[in-house]
Structures are given as structure tokens and as C-alpha cells.
Amino acid sequence: MKIKIRILALTLVAVLLMSVLCGCIHPDGYMGEHKDLYSQVMSTVLYVRGYHVEGELFYGSCVCPLESDNYGRRLFAYYEYNGSLSILVSQKTEGEYVYYYPDFSHLNIRIESDDELSAGELSSDAWVKLMISRYSYEEKVELLKERNDWNKPINDEGMEKAKISGSADDHALESKLEFSDEQLISLFRAQAAKEGYSLDGAQIDVNCVNDRCAFRDSFGREIKIATVTLEKTEEKVKTTEQIMLFVLSDKNGNISPDVGAMITSDLYNYQEALYNFKKENGWNEAQ
């Protein structure tokens, strides 16, 4: 009997330790360490929820610091057991806010199922570095650091900030726009035609969180994101492909038919395309 009680006690201790180090087992709030870094992730990385759900259980996500530069910047990893590992650079934390550079503050590594951690298993800097090496991301991580002024004096110009909060919902921007699936599919078809993307025989489905937007600039423009799923059947073989659709509007919700949308089939390395899309459309510039 004493042995069973001891085993139960050790199990509870392990669960509590996992909750502290790797987040809480509930989606309403992150209770792990480095809440400022968690807040940056929730404000910048697409397709993250802030937790992992498996059956009826919720698991906290993992924030894993990797190294710091001479001026206090931090290189860190974020993982929530969904096949994607994010590597980020945080510029600084002051008071209630964490600061970072927009557009190129992170990169994403797609993790194959054989390399994934089990839900609730703690990530470590050793595991993260192994994944960086296994997927040949060493040069990309060095470029990430270079783009974020690693080992250079802190430069406040161009930084963005996020208020520190353990609630994923606190970092979601409420959108002024709503789209029907038909509108999104129409935008997608038009953009696909411009880019020479073949839709012959494809069944198109779309998913969009209408009450949120991904980004909003200083002048009220919004960028919303929808996930488009294409299903094709060729010679009785069914294939499925997911594509990201970015929709840009002005502060009044108007979408330009010429520059209002962008598509990319790379759900992990979209940053360069998104940056160019913003730049071409005068993001954060007065009009």
C-alpha cells in the first residue's frame, strides 16, 4: 500500500513539474517559465494555439531558451507537439512588454513524426539543437540572428512589442472584417490565376477564423489568413494540399482587386513572401 501511495505521489510531482516547466495542462493560461517569450510567440508565429490538445487532455507548450548575446537578446525555441518547432529572437523585455523585430524574428522547422516528442515530454536545448542539425537549419539560424542584430547594440527603431500575458486569447487581434467562404474562394481563385497556379479538377475548401486577424499596421490595415485545402484525384489517386491565403484590407475593410491577396504553399517558411507582400502594399506607411 505504501509503495502505491509513493508511486502516486511521485506521479503527481512529475505532473506538477511538467506544468511549471512546460506550461499548464489547461488552454486558458500558460503557467510555465519565460511568459514574456511565450507572449512574443503568440503575437508573431502563425498557426500556434499556445497549448496542445490530445483526446480530452490539454498540455502546455514548451519555451526553451538557447543562448543570449552580449546585449541581452535571447535566442529561444517554442514547441507545442504539433510537428512544428519555432526558433525566435527576442530583443528585450521591459516592464509589461516584450520587444522584437517584425517579419523576421522567427523561423519554423517542420518536424517529422519520428522526431516528435510525446505530448507533455519536456523539450531541452539539446533536443532543439539536435533538430536544428538534423534538418540542416544551422545556416538559417545564423541568418535569423544576423537579421535580428545579434551581438550589436540594442536599436529600438523598428521594434514591435507585445504585452506579457499567459493567455493566448490576449494576443489575438479582433478583426473588423468578415468573409464568407465564397468570397475567400473567389479571392483565392483570382490570385491563383494571376500566379499561374493550376486548379483543374480541384475541390476547394477554406477555413478562416473570421473574428481574428493576423496583423494590423499603425494605420488600421489588416492582414487576415485563411487556409485553403485543395483535393485532386488523378488516376484514382487522391492528393491533398494546403495553401495559405493572405488577404489585405485598408482601414475601412476595402480590398484592392489588384493587390489584395497573396498565396503561398509553404506553411512553414512564409516570412519572406509575407514581408514582400507588406512592402509592396505600403504596410505601416501613411497613404
Domain boundary among 171, 200, 233: 171
Domain of 162?
A: 7-171
Q: Are residues 159 and 232 in the same domain?
A: no
Residue 93 lies in a domain: yes
At 233, the amino acid letter reads T
Lowest mean pLDDT among 134-143, 157-166, 167-176: 167-176
Domain end marker among 171, 204, 222: 171
Q: In what order do the strands lie in the sheet with 160-163?
A: 92-94, 97-100, 160-163
Per-residue pLDDT, averaged over 73-80, amounts to 94
pLDDT class of 226 with cuts at 50, 70, 90: confident
Identify the pLDDT of residue 108. 94
Q: Are residues 42 and 150 in the same domain?
A: yes
CA atoms within 13 A on the CB side of 7: 4
**Do 93 and 145 reside in the same domain of the chain?**
yes
Residue 206 and residue 30: Cα distance in Å, rounded?
A: 30
Same domain, 166 and 188: no
Q: In the chain, pLDDT over 90 holds for what percent of residues?
A: 33
**Residue 8's pLDDT is what?**
42
**Domain count along the chain:** 2
Q: What is the pLDDT of residue 122?
A: 63
Helices (H) and strands (E) in the chain, counts: 6, 16
- CA-closest candidate to residue 162, choices 106, 85, 203: 106
My answer on whether 37 and 127 are in the same domain is: yes
Q: Is residue 285 part of a domain?
A: no
Please determine, for residue 106, whether its predicted confidence score (pLDDT) is greater than 90: yes
Q: CA nearest 271: which of 244, 241, 242, 240?
A: 244
Instruction: Give the mean pLDDT of 238-251.
Output: 87
Query: How many angstroms separate the CA atoms of 245 and 257, rounded?
Result: 14
Same domain, 32 and 167: yes
C-alpha cell at 37: 517569450
- Tell me what pLDDT residue 10 has: 41
83-102 tens-digit pLDDT? 789 999 999 999 999 999 99
- b (16+ CB within 10 A) / e for 33-43: ebbbbbbbbbb
From 115, 144, 171, give the residue that closes a domain: 171
Let me know whether 167 and 255 are in one domain.
no
Pairing type for strands 97-100 and 222-234 reads unpaired
Are residues 147 and 187 part of one domain? no
Question: What average pLDDT does this structure show over 227-236?
Answer: 83
pLDDT-based confidence at 197, cuts 50/70/90? confident
- One domain for residues 117 and 228: no
**DSSP H or E stretch at residue 149:** none
Q: Is residue 233 part of a domain?
A: yes
Rounded Cα–Cα distance for residues 101 and 265 (Å): 24
Instruction: State whether 225 and 269 are in the same domain.
Output: yes
